[in-house]
Structures are given as structure tokens and as C-alpha cells.
């Protein structure tokens, strides 16, 4: 494999101060980044991330160190700063408001419209397109949509990870339940089947059944991995009309409520269950979690089940953006081009399905994901990205997330009136949708 840096343009040490900070509508302040890549010497870069996985961080650092070695006149170090997922966006926007912006940051898809519209991010398209060997045209158009404005690209969608179902085949077999892979093959892999199998396994094992990972009765948007089977959504495609009270959403939320409080198929509030520690029969999550698996129990990975409206693929997407008011946006963009070039994108595919069409095949992904078979990768990742929807996004998502969570608190009791709670949710969020 050839050295990618040998085919790339160099960034001059003296750059125009015209790349000044823009108004940060997101954080309500103005940036002061002057991109001080000058004769003063190499700079230190900082990227915020929400992973604390040591293997992932080691890979990031390996790529970054190679960049530093090849560009000692530009960069002296690249630091990856983990921030807990549950506090990530709040902490990031606090840093922006406090003139402590990182040079680069992971951005969750739910907040993409806010960040892109805010003016907080630098247009990275010119840098990526002008970098020798980058092959910008290999990036799938569908993966870029959330991060584009006019002709600009304001984050690179480094992770396009389908939601899927990990299953503990040992627990299911002990409960006399069928193999989910066989149900996929026969066309009988449905949410109702998954619910019933999970309830039976939980009763037999004394553990939990089906866990929607990261939901924990707070991150309601993760339930989009279930809603898709009912063709339900929290608001209209244009983001202006609440649809929480529509029949499809009422049906799926009733299904979830009953699975928790009547069938015992899903954990109740206050219960913590980690599938990867053997605490549950099934979990809906993304394939990057496969790195947490060991040989302590038998497991499989299958696509999301079908609901009454069929099977819907759902992906979680995350981007890497460069902040306009950070100290070194031009060098940060150059590092991003190196970090995500074809060679390094293939390395990152170990954990994060890339937006590069050339890499989205089972054979290539299997080389990067030794714990997953080519069949699993084809059925879950390659096929799972096709025609997929993302978790909910909105230009006002931060406020909507809190407002919806507060309203849905009333849903997580055994005697909740689902229709009433969802109607109240619409009443609460409609002003935010219109704003």
C-alpha cells in the first residue's frame, strides 16, 4: 500500500487570516480562531470523541502519530479527548461557548442540522477534494446529506452503523426458543417473535429479555430502531408537525409499553442489563459493539426484525467536523483528510462502517471485523445501509430532546395512558417544531 501522504498536497505554514471565526448561533457566541498556523512552529490538535474504548482510541492515536511523523513542521501532537456519551453534546457546546473549542469533534446525527446551520463548522469539502488520492467521489451521496449546506460539506460521516440485533443463542436455546437466523431465513423474524422469545428466555434465565441499548428511558430517540417497523416517526419529514400522537406511533409505543410492563420482555425502569456481560437474551445496538464480545456465551448478529409495516433498516450516523473558531482549522481539516483517506478509512472500518462505496462490501469489512462473518456483514451492514433511515434529527433537536424526554417520563409506569401521554407530548413540542 503506497504512502498516502506522498500523494497529498501540503498545507503552507503561512495561511490567510481570512478564515476567521463565524457567528456561532449554536452556542450564542463568536469564535476567535485565526488559524494560527505560522512560522511560530508546529501546533497541537485536539479532537473530542464519545468513545472510551481503548482499542478504538489506540487506532485513532496510531493514525494520528503517523500524521505527526509525516508533518513535523505542521503538528506536534494530536490528542483525542473522550467525553461521556450522555454528556457529550452539552459539554461540547459549553466548550464552544467558553472559547475552548476543540479543533475537531465527533457530532451525533441528531444534532447535525443544528451544527450545520449554526456557522460553527468549517466547510471541509475543498480540503477533501483537493487532497491527492482522497477520492472524494467515492463518498456515497446519501451519507453526506445530513452534513451538507449549499455546496459545502461541514462534517465527514465517519460512522454509518446499522442498528441490528445481537442475540444470546445459549439463553434462547435453554428456553426452547428458535434460532433467530432461521426465522430470518424463513421470513418470520418479526418484533412480535423477538418479544415472545425474549420473554421466554428471561423467564427461564432469571435475567432480562430484549434491551434497546443506550435507551435507559432517557435517550428516547434510540427507539427509532423499533419505530421503523411500524413506519412511525416523532415528527413530519419537514420537521414542522408533531406525529407522536399519530396511530403508527401510538401502536408502537403501546407495543413497547406492553413488552415492558405486561409481557416482561423488556427491562423495567431502573433495571440495568448489559447484553455483552450475559445479562440479556437480545439487544438492539450498532455493530461497533461487537468488540465487547468474548467467548463466554454463544451469540449471533441478525438484522432488525420486521414490524406490521415491514422491515426497516435504521442507521446511526456520526460526523467529524472542524470548528471555525478553533485555533487551527486549516491544519485540522488537513488532518481530517489524512484521518479519513481511503487507507485509513479501511482501518477505521474495524469499528465504524465508512461512507466509502468501495469499502462497503463483505469481503473488505470482514478483514477489519474478524469477530463477524462475511454473511453477517453482508446481511446486517452492507444490506443494512441500503435504504436506511437515521435516528430523528431536527434543527432544534437539543430542546426537543429534553422536552420529549420530560413528557415521556409519564409513559414509563404500568398504568400509563399511552394515547394521552403522546398527545400531551405533541402539545409540548409543537412550539419547538415551529420555531
pLDDT at 174 over 50: yes
Residues paired with 282 in a beta bridge:
167, 210
Residue pair 98/389 in contact by the 8 Å Cβ criterion: no
What the block records as the C-alpha cell of 373 is: 462473518
Which residues are bridge partners to 121 per DSSP? 323
DSSP character for 327?
Answer: S
Q: Which of 20, 267, 313 is nearest to 164 (CA)?
A: 313
Whether 356 has a pLDDT exceeding 90, the answer reads yes
Beta-carbon contacts of 323 under 8 Å, excluding residues fewer than 6 positions away, are 31, 33, 96, 101, 102, 103, 104, 105, 120, 121, 122, 329, 332
- Write the CATH number of the domain with boundaries 162-314+389-434: 3.40.190.10
pLDDT top residue among 87 and 258:
258
Measured CA to CA, the distance from residue 61 to residue 314 in angstroms comes to: 30
Give the Cα separation of 340 and 156 in Å (integer): 8
Average pLDDT, rounded, for the chain:
89
Q: Would you place residue 91 in the very low, low, confident or very high pLDDT band (cuts 50, 70, 90)? A: very high
How many angstroms separate the CA atoms of 23 and 27, rounded? 9
- Phi/psi of residue 409, nearest 5 degrees: -55, -35
Q: What's the confidence (pLDDT) of residue 322?
A: 98
- The pLDDT tens digits for 244-282 are 999 999 999 999 999 999 999 999 999 999 999 999 999
Q: What's the rounded mean pLDDT across residues 355-374?
A: 86
The superfamily CATH assigns to domain 4-161+316-385 is: Periplasmic binding protein-like II (3.40.190.10)
* pLDDT (tens digit per residue) in 321-333: 999 989 999 999 9
> Looking at 5-14, 62-71, 211-220, which range is the least confident one?
5-14
Please give the Cα distance from 327 to 334 (Å, whole number): 14
**Distinct helix (H) and strand (E) counts, the chain:** 17, 13
**Where do the structural domains in the chain lie, given as residue ranges?**
4-161+316-385, 162-314+389-434
Give me the DSSP letters along 230-280. GT--SB-TTS-SB-TTSHHHHHHHHHHHHHHHTS--SPPTT----GGGT-E
Beta bridge partners of 153: 148
pLDDT at position 106 = 98
How many Å apart are CA 258 and CA 241, to the nearest integer? 27
Instruction: Tell which wins on pLDDT, 406 or 33.
Output: 406
Confidence of residue 435 (pLDDT cuts 50, 70, 90): low
d(CA 257, CA 343): 45
- Copy the grid coordinates of residue 294: 468474548
Distances (CA, A) of 431 to 10, 190, 241, 246, 396: 49, 36, 10, 18, 11
Q: Tell me whether the CATH fold assigned to 4-161+316-385 matches the one assigned to 162-314+389-434.
A: yes
Mean pLDDT, residues 158-177 taken together: 95
CA separation for the pair 371, 45 (Å, rounded): 33
Instruction: Count Cβ atoms below 10 Å from residue 317 Cβ, excluding itself.
Output: 26
Amino acid at each position: 500500500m503506497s504512502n498516502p501522504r506522498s500523494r497529498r498536497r501540503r498545507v503552507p505554514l503561512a495561511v490567510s487570516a481570512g478564515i476567521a471565526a463565524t457567528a456561532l448561533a449554536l452556542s450564542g457566541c463568536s469564535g476567535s480562531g485565526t488559524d494560527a498556523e505560522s512560522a511560530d512552529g508546529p501546533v497541537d490538535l485536539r479532537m473530542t470523541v464519545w468513545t472510551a474504548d481503548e482499542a478504538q482510541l489506540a487506532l485513532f492515536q496510531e493514525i494520528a502519530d503517523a500524521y505527526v511523523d509525516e508533518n513535523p513542521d505542521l503538528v506536534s501532537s494530536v490528542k483525542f479527548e473522550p467525553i461521556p456519551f450522555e454528556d457529550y453534546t452539552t459539554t461540547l457546546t459549553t466548550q464552544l461557548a467558553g472559547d475552548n473549542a476543540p479543533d475537531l469533534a465527533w457530532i451525533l446525527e441528531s444534532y447535525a442540522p443544528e451544527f450545520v446551520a449554526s456557522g460553527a463548522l468549517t466547510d471541509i469539502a475543498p480540503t477533501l477534494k483537493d487532497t491527492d488520492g482522497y477520492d472524494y467521489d467515492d463518498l456515497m451521496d446519501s451519507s453526506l446529506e445530513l452534513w451538507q449546506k449549499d455546496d459545502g460539506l461541514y462534517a465527514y460521516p465517519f460512522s454509518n452503523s446499522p442498528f441490528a440485533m445481537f442475540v444470546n443463542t445459549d439463553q434462547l436455546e435453554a428456553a426452547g426458543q428458535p434460532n433467530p437466523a432461521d426465522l430470518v431465513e424463513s421470513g418470520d423474524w418479526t418484533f412480535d417473535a423477538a418479544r415472545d422469545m425474549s420473554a421466554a428466555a428471561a423467564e427461564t434465565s432469571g435475567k432480562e429479555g430484549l434491551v434497546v441499548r443506550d435507551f435507559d428511558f432517557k435517550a428516547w430517540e434510540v427507539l427509532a430502531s423499533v419505530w421503523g417497523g411500524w413506519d412511525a416517526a416523532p415528527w413530519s419529514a419537514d420537521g414542522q408537525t408533531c406525529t407522536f400522537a399519530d396511530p403508527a406511533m401510538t401502536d408502537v409505543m403501546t407495543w413497547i409499553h406492553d413488552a415492558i410492563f405486561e409481557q416482561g420482555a423488556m427491562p423495567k425502569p431502573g433495571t440495568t442489563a448489559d447484553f455483552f456481560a450475559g445479562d440479556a437474551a437480545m439487544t438492539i445496538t450498532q455493530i461497533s459493539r461487537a468488540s465487547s464480545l468474548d467467548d463466554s456465551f454463544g451469540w449471533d448478529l441478525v438484522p432488525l426484525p420486521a414490524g406490521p409495516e415491514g422491515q426497516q433498516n435504521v442507521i446511526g450516523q456520526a460526523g467529524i467536523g472542524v470548528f471555525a473558531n478553533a485555533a487551527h482549522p486549516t491544519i485540522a481539516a488537513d488532518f481530517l483528510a489524512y484521518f479519513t483517506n481511503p487507507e485509513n478509512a479501511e482501518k477505521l472500518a474495524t469499528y465504524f462502517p465508512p461512507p466509502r462505496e468501495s469499502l462497503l462490501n463483505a469481503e473488505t469489512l470482514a478483514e477489519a471485523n474478524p469477530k463477524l462473518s462475511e454473511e453477517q456483514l453482508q446481511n446486517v451492514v452492507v444490506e443494512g445501509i441500503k435504504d436506511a433511515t437515521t435516528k430523528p434529527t431536527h434543527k432544534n433537536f437539543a430542546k426537543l430532546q429534553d422536552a420529549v424526554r420530560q413528557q415521556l417520563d409519564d409513559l414509563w409506569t404500568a398504568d400509563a395512558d399511552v394515547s394521552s401521554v403522546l398527545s400531551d407530548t405533541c402539545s409540548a413540542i409543537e412550539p419547538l417544531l415551529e420555531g
